[in-house]
């Protein structure tokens, strides 16, 4: 049947099972919006800024594991979505972004609203396409979904010139086999080399002081069960990155919680003293390792990752295993069982676990609470309690992000959404909207900074329009807090351009947009307004928590420094001597 | 602080063996890439290499006997470890079919060069012709004052040739960039008893 290119786009999206598109129309993409309207079966969420649309698609993808879809027009529409694309690239989020382009004959002419978005996004996409003929349109869209969602996930952009959306064609939707056949150079590696897995099993049985270091790859491959089984069977403590949160429940006795720059004392101590580090779907980011030469100095390293290019990139490893985390862990567990799952040095292992318990007691995550002013950490603890630890949490970037990572305990995968790689302020609110659409059964909280919130706050209107009851908790210190903290610690408190005390009245702002606004200025009000907010289920709520302005995020390993130079709660440095514990 | 940390019973022993990051050797690598001849594939590869802060020293591209499949030969100077990373990332590109660093494996390489050299005197002309002959080059264009010479070979041969011509005055020079191919191994026949 002959139909327009625009109709082919919608037909292909339906074939892919797309239920929601986040976007904003304009000249070059109007045909597709017309086809969407005529078809009427896919929900479209009209964001108020294309950046918002991109982060919404990310939030949706992160909670569901499905490919998120965003759509924009050419030129400024396309450039506005570059940040979420880069964000998705860094955090391995499966995304298909469809952009309109000027008609084929005008490409390269500096036509109205023309940019070379394929060129611009080349370094921040897993792949991208410019469609050159209507006959290849359905194939390229299907390829985009296949590439985005398989292997190490990532964003794929499809740029469609307007004339192609207007032409007529009878081209059919290709089968999945055709899609794979069209990509002879793309074969994601999944199985894991059995010899390497055997080596890993041997090291795990021999280790005296092992640690599992778990990243986002474990979440993407849904490996929670395998992780728990491995950790419990071999008695291995587990630390998770911000991306890996929830892949191993943080209330588990073997949980060390987060490591790295704002990691717990005990996680960092454990990694520093480990004799075996098992990295699972993690990439040794510099925020995790600190000074790389002194990262886990005594440990042998096993690295399991689906991306061969992630292995031995930042650090040389002893046993690399390329493969899907879930599959490799499954094989590893079988191999260990085959060998009787023996811990060869049970006494040392016992001592190791006890040592970690001591560290946990010595420096738990704490802060000095107050009756007068609201402490930011207190806000997070109260949210944890009010939601029973069961909410999905999204965050912006800054101090609040780290407090949300520390003082909320995550127990299931895809529960904590944050911009870990790119560190994009403004991620939180739109991601929360996308997350709530993907998981309407869950309470979704955006814990945001006042600075981050302002970067994408227009999306409150979107949430109101679609009756999406996200809860926004602004941890309002009236500063670009994290930058202020660095200025305090490393620039002699010269607070250069970080004061945000001129700010909107967030309660009135909420009301003006059709949302509900609350403010808490005293600690005892925190829980009250949380309870009030959670009663509202048909519109977004903004809660303005006016917090202690100059609270710092601690502990902290200064950038590029060794774990030995960790600054603790009381401002003291971790004593280097305590770090040389050799059992 | 040492007394507050509860380390009783655990001996404080040696300073740690810091994890050493191996530093690679910096040298010229020659990388073979088989690609699908899709829109933007060259830009993608160039972006990737430039993104590592490396300059492409030589590059040749041309279609193979298979339609739509091109072979690229890339010369790049860099740290062995970073180049290994580049190779892995090149493999990850959707349009690459095969990527191989030929530097340390037996391979054949050739480059074609055109040199336009001044021929001020007849003695110079004679001498140049002799050099061309020794190097199995070919004079492909002649004017009153110049010869244009074509020569193919590996890097060493071409560099030697160019050095010998320099005293006469080189007017222009163009190189194609290397093309390279892995040598096939001779498999010794297994004599079954
Ligand atoms: C888009 C963007 N611009 C700048 C930065 C640099 N940056 C990192 S944290 C931060 C301050 C964030 O302030 P706020 O959102 O109020 O959070 P707080 O640290 O106060 O909790 C800034 C400016 C960034 N991460 N992203």
Q: How does DSSP classify residue B9?
A: T
Contact of B100 with chain A, judged by CB distance below 8 Å, is answered with no
Name the residue of chain A whose CA is nearest to B20's CA: A293
Please give the average per-residue pLDDT across B180-186, as a whole number.
86
Output the DSSP codes for A375-410: -HHHHHHHHHHHTTT-SEEEE-SSHHHHHHHHHS--
| CA distance to A82, A190, A254, A571, B68, per residue, from A363 (Å) | 41, 40, 16, 12, 62
What is the C-alpha separation between A534 and A445, in angstroms, rounded? 10
**Backbone dihedral region of A192: left (phi > 0), alpha (psi from -120 to 50 degrees) or beta?**
left
Residue A251, helix vs strand vs coil: coil
pLDDT band at B193 (very low <50, low <70, confident <90, very high): very low
Tens digit of pLDDT for each residue in A113-166? Answer: 999 999 999 999 999 999 999 999 999 999 999 999 999 999 999 999 999 999
Q: In chain A, which residues have their Cβ closer than 8 Å to the Cβ of B22?
A: 316
pLDDT band at A575 (very low <50, low <70, confident <90, very high): low
Q: In chain A, which residues have their Cβ closer than 8 Å to the Cβ of B85?
A: 309, 313
Asked if pLDDT for residue A390 goes beyond 90, the answer is yes
Contact of B85 with chain A, judged by CB distance below 8 Å, is answered with yes
Task: Give the active site residue among A482, A513, A556, A566.
Answer: A482
Q: With an 8 Å Cβ cutoff, are A186 and B21 in contact?
A: no
pLDDT band at A214 (very low <50, low <70, confident <90, very high): very high
The pLDDT assigned to A568 comes to 82
User: Whole-model pTM?
Assistant: 0.92
A547 lines ligand 1 (CB under 6 A): no
Please give the average per-residue pLDDT across A29-44, as a whole number.
98
Tens digit of pLDDT for each residue in A47-68? Answer: 999 999 999 999 999 999 999 9
User: Are B42 and B77 contained in the same domain?
Assistant: yes
Tens digit of pLDDT for each residue in B44-84? Answer: 999 999 988 888 999 999 999 999 999 999 999 998 888 99
Mean pLDDT of chain A: 95
Instruction: Select from B1, B15, B16, B53 the residue whose CB has the most chain A CBs within 10 Å, as the one to mutate to test that interface.
Output: B16
Question: Which residue's entry shows tokens 């000027």?
Answer: A102
Output the DSSP codes for A210-279: EEEEE-HHHHHTT-HHHHHHHHHHHT--EEE-TTTTTSS-TTSTTEEEE-STT--HHHHHHHHH-SEEEE
Asked if pLDDT for residue B4 goes beyond 70, the answer is no
Tens digit of pLDDT for each residue in B82-130? Answer: 899 899 999 999 999 999 999 999 999 999 999 999 999 999 999 999 9
User: Are B59 and B114 contained in the same domain?
Assistant: no
What is the C-alpha separation between A409 and A248, in angstroms, rounded? 11
What is the C-alpha separation between B86 and B91, in angstroms, rounded? 9
Contact of A127 with chain B, judged by CB distance below 8 Å, is answered with yes
The pLDDT assigned to A576 comes to 44
Please list, residue by residue across A499-532, b when 16 or more beta carbons sit within 10 angstroms of its beta carbon and e when fewer do. ebeeeeebbebbeebebbbbbbeebebbbebbee
The Cβ of residue A246 has, within 10 Å, a number of other Cβ atoms equal to: 22
User: Are B118 and B173 contained in the same domain?
Assistant: yes
The pLDDT assigned to B13 comes to 37
Pick among 3.40.50.970, 3.40.50.2300, 3.90.245.10, 3.40.1350.10: CATH of A376-546: 3.40.50.970
Residue at a domain's end among B105, B121, B149: B105
The pLDDT assigned to B52 comes to 85
Asked if pLDDT for residue A577 goes beyond 50, the answer is no
The pLDDT assigned to A11 comes to 98
Please give the average per-residue pLDDT across B152-164, as a whole number.
94
User: Are B39 and B73 contained in the same domain?
Assistant: yes
Omega of the bond prior to A49 within 30 degrees of 0, cis? Answer: no
Please give the average per-residue pLDDT across A451-458, as a whole number.
98
The pLDDT assigned to A562 comes to 86
The pLDDT assigned to B44 comes to 94
Q: Which fold has domain A194-362?
A: Rossmann fold (3.40.50)
Tens digit of pLDDT for each residue in A326-348? Answer: 999 999 999 999 999 999 999 99
User: Are B24 and B72 contained in the same domain?
Assistant: yes
Asked if pLDDT for residue A403 goes beyond 60, the answer is yes
User: Are B94 and B26 contained in the same domain?
Assistant: yes
What is the C-alpha separation between B41 and B33, in angstroms, rounded? 11
User: Are B90 and B129 contained in the same domain?
Assistant: no
Q: With beta carbons less than 8 A apart as the criterion, state whether A164 and A104 touch.
A: yes
What are the structural domain ranges in chain A? 3-181, 194-362, 376-546
pLDDT band at A570 (very low <50, low <70, confident <90, very high): low
The pLDDT assigned to B81 comes to 86
Q: With beta carbons less than 8 A apart as the criterion, state whether A114 and A75 touch.
A: yes
Task: Give the active site residue among A112, A347, A362, A550.
Answer: A112
Provide the domain count of chain B: 2
Asked if pLDDT for residue B1 goes beyond 50, the answer is no
Asked if pLDDT for residue B7 goes beyond 50, the answer is no
A residues 300-359 lying closer than 8 A (beta carbon) to B: 307-309, 311-313, 315-316, 355, 358
User: Are B21 and B101 contained in the same domain?
Assistant: yes
Domain A3-181, classified CATH 2.40.40.20, yes or no: no
Full domain range(s) for residue B54 = 17-105
């Amino acid at each position: 049947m002959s139909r327009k290119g625009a109709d082919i786009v919608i037909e292909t999206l339906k074939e892919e099972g797309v239920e929601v598109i986040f976007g904003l129309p304009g000249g070059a993409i109007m045909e597709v919006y017309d086809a969407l309207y005529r078809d009427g079966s896919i929900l479209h969420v009209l964001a108020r800024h294309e950046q918002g649309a991109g982060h919404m698609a990310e939030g949706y993808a992160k909670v569901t594991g499905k490919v998120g879809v965003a759509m924009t027009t050419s030129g400024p529409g396309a450039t506005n979505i570059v940040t979420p694309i880069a964000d998705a690239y860094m955090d391995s989020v499966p995304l298909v972004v469809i952009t309109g382009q000027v008609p084929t004959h005008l490409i390269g002419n500096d036509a109205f609203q023309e940019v070379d978005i394929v060129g611009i996004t080349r370094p921040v996409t897993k792949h991208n396409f410019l469609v050159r003929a209507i006959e290849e349109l359905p194939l390229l869209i299907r390829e985009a979904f296949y590439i985005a969602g398989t292997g190490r996930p990532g964003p794929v952009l499809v740029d469609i010139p307007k004339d192609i959306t207007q032409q007529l064609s009878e081209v059919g939707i290709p089968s999945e086999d055709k899609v794979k056949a069209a990509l002879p150079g793309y074969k994601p590696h999944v199985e894991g080399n059995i010899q390497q897995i055997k080596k890993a099993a041997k090291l795990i049985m021999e280790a005296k002081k092992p640690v599992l270091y778990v990243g986002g790859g474990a979440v993407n491959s849904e490996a929670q069960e395998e992780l728990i089984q491995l950790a419990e069977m071999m008695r291995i403590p587990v630390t998770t990155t911000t991306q890996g949160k929830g892949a191993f429940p943080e209330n588990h006795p073997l949980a060390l919680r987060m490591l790295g720059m704002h990691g717990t004392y005990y996680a960092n101590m454990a990694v520093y003293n480990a004799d075996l580090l098992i990295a699972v779907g993690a990439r040794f980011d510099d925020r995790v390792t600190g000074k790389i030469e002194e990262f886990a100095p005594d440990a042998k390293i096993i690295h399991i990752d689906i991306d061969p290019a992630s292995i031995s990139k930042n650090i040389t490893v002893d046993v690399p295993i390329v493969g899907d985390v879930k599959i490799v862990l499954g094989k590893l567990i079988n191999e260990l069982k085959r060998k009787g799952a023996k811990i060869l040095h049970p006494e040392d292992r016992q001592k190791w676990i006890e040592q970690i318990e001591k560290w946990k007691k010595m420096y738990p995550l704490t802060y000095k609470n107050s009756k007068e002013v609201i402490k930011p950490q207190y806000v997070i603890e109260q949210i944890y309690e009010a939601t029973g630890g069961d909410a999905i949490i999204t965050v912006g970037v800054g101090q609040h992000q780290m407090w949300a990572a520390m003082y909320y305990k995550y127990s299931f995968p895809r529960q904590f959404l944050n911009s870990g790689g790119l560190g994009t302020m403004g991620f939180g609110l739109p991601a929360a909207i996308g997350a709530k659409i993907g998981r309407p059964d869950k309470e979704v909280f955006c814990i945001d900074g006042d600075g981050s919130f302002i970067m994408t706050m227009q999306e409150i209107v979107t949430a109101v329009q679609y009756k999406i009851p996200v809860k926004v908790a602004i941890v309002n210190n009236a500063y670009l807090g994290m930058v202020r903290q660095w200025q305090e610690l490393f620039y002699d408190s010269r607070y250069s351009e970080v004061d945000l005390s001129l700010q909107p009245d967030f309660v009135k702002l909420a009301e003006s947009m059709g949302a509900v606004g609350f403010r808490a200025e005293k600690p005892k009000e925190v829980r009250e307004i949380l309870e009030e907010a959670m009663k509202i289920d048909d519109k977004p709520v903004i809660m303005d928590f006016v917090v202690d302005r100059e609270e710092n995020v601690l502990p902290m390993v200064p950038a590029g420094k060794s774990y030995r130079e960790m600054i603790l709660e009381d401002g003291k440095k971790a004593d280097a001597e305590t770090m040389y514990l050799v059992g | 602080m040492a007394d507050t940390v509860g380390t009783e019973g655990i001996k404080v022993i040696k300073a740690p063996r810091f994890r050493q990051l191996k530093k690679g050797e910096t040298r010229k690598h020659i990388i073979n890439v088989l690609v699908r001849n899709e829109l933007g594939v060259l830009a993608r590869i160039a972006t990737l290499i430039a993104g590592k802060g490396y300059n492409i020293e030589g590059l040749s591209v041309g279609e193979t006997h298979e339609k739509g499949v091109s072979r690229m030969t890339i010369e790049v100077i860099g740290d062995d470890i970073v180049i290994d990373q580049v190779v892995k990332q090149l493999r990850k590109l959707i349009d690459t079919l095969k990527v191989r660093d030929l530097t340390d494996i037996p391979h054949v390489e050739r480059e074609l060069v055109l040199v336009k050299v001044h021929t001020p005197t007849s003695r110079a002309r004679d001498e140049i012709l002799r050099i061309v002959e020794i190097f199995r080059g070919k004079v492909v264009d002649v004017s009153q004052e110049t010869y244009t010479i074509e020569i193919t070979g590996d890097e060493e041969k071409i560099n030697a040739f160019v050095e010998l011509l320099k005293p006469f005055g080189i007017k222009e020079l163009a190189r194609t960039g290397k093309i390279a191919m892995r040598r096939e191994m001779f498999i010794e026949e297994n004599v079954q008893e």
